[in-house]
């Protein structure tokens, strides 16, 4: 079951191919690497030659932005009633993954239709796209956990931009597994858990994260803080070589085993390419959602 983020107005993937993508972020056109775009581009399409900025990879790792026109250091884009700061970083990213809007829509729909108080935990929460979506949808509390202090600060800026200061959002800089274990000791539970684990990472005190070694133990640990009346459990992944069926199997052997009244959906997540009828694949997702008819 594939999901496509097709409701954007301030963002579009104009074209993709030759290992790159051409995007519009409100009024700014960026050209960035995308190793999954293995098909050719139309050599007669001049749009590729006139972005505002073009990120070039280095053979030695990393890369740099070539600015063809002056652009702001940061600017704001809108999705539904949410607003986010966008800023090109030295490692090609912009602080937002627009394909995640498909997951945001799912989360917002679930919370709005629940008609009860919902507490949400967002792990590896980055700059807070899912955090803001859940808060805007009416979650009673959203706990935002990320090991990178700078990303948590960026998420706080997004909260202000989205006018969500009056919502209960807790921002935590911590190693996610350590935080989950502490929440278990405190006896706290969540109706919805979201995680977007990296392939490899480090916690604030140097803790090593390897998705192939630690994803299942983390999901298993989360079973102890998932409420007895859960609403959803969502895993997103960008790890190369991980098929969606891996996430489906993990959810089957953890969440579904403990909470059989639910269904599991898994697949690719992607962006429509406006210059063609193709979709740019952008990772995978797996989710368990409460379903009394299951």
Which CATH code is given to the segment(s) 3-73? 2.60.40.1180
CB burial of 190-205 (b: ≥16 within 10 Å; e: otherwise) equals bbbbbbbbeeebebee
Assign 94 a pLDDT band (cuts: 50, 70, 90): very high
Burial of 115 (0-12, 13-18, 19+ CB in 10 A): exposed
Look up the CATH architecture of domain 98-290.
3-Layer(aba) Sandwich (3.40)
Identify the CA nearest to 201 among candidates 253, 169, 237.
237
Mean pLDDT of the chain: 95
Identify the CA nearest to 262 among candidates 284, 232, 234.
232
Identify the CA nearest to 105 among candidates 187, 188, 7, 245.
7
For residue range 143-184, list pLDDT tens digits in order. 999 999 999 999 999 999 999 999 999 999 999 999 999 999
Q: How many residues does the chain have?
A: 294
Ranges of each domain in the chain: 3-73, 98-290
pLDDT at 60: 78
Whether residue 44 is predicted with pLDDT greater than 90 in this model: the reply is: no
Average pLDDT rounded to a whole number, residues 80-88: 97
pLDDT at 204: 74
Distant-in-sequence, close-in-space partners of 205: CB < 8 Å, separation ≥ 6: 175
- pTM of the predicted structure, to 2 decimals: 0.95
128 torsion bin: left (phi>0), alpha (psi -120 to 50), beta (else): left
């Amino acid at each position: 079951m594939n999901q496509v983020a097709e409701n954007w107005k301030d963002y579009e993937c104009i074209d993709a191919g030759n290992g790159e993508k051409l995007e519009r972020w409100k009024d700014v056109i960026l050209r960035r690497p995308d190793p999954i775009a293995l098909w050719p581009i139309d050599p007669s399409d001049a749009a590729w030659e006139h972005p505002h900025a073009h990120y070039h990879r280095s053979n030695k790792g990393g890369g740099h932005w070539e600015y063809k026109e002056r652009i702001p250091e940061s600017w704001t884009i809108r999705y539904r009633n949410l607003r986010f700061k966008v800023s090109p970083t030295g490692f090609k990213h912009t602080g937002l993954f627009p394909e995640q809007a498909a997951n945001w829509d799912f989360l917002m729909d679930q919370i709005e239709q629940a008609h009860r108080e919902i507490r949400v935990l967002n792990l590896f929460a980055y700059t807070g796209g899912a955090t803001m979506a859940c808060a805007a949808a009416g979650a009673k509390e959203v706990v935002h956990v990320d090991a990178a202090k700078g990303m948590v600060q960026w998420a706080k800026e997004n909260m202000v931009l989205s006018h969500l200061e009056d919502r209960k959002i807790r921002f935590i800089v911590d190693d996610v597994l350590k935080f989950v274990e502490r929440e278990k000791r405190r006896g706290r539970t969540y109706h919805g858990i979201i995680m977007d684990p990296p392939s490899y990472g480090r916690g604030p005190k140097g803790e090593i994260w390897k998705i192939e070694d630690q994803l299942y133990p983390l999901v298993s640990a989360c079973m102890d803080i998932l409420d007895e009346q859960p609403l959803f459990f969502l895993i997103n992944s960008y790890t190369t070589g991980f098929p969606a069926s891996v996430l489906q199997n993990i959810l089957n052997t953890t969440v579904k085993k403990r909470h059989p009244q639910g269904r599991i959906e898994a697949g690719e997540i992607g962006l429509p390419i406006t210059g063609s009828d193709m979709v740019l694949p952008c990772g995978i997702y797996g989710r368990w959602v409460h379903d009394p008819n299951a």
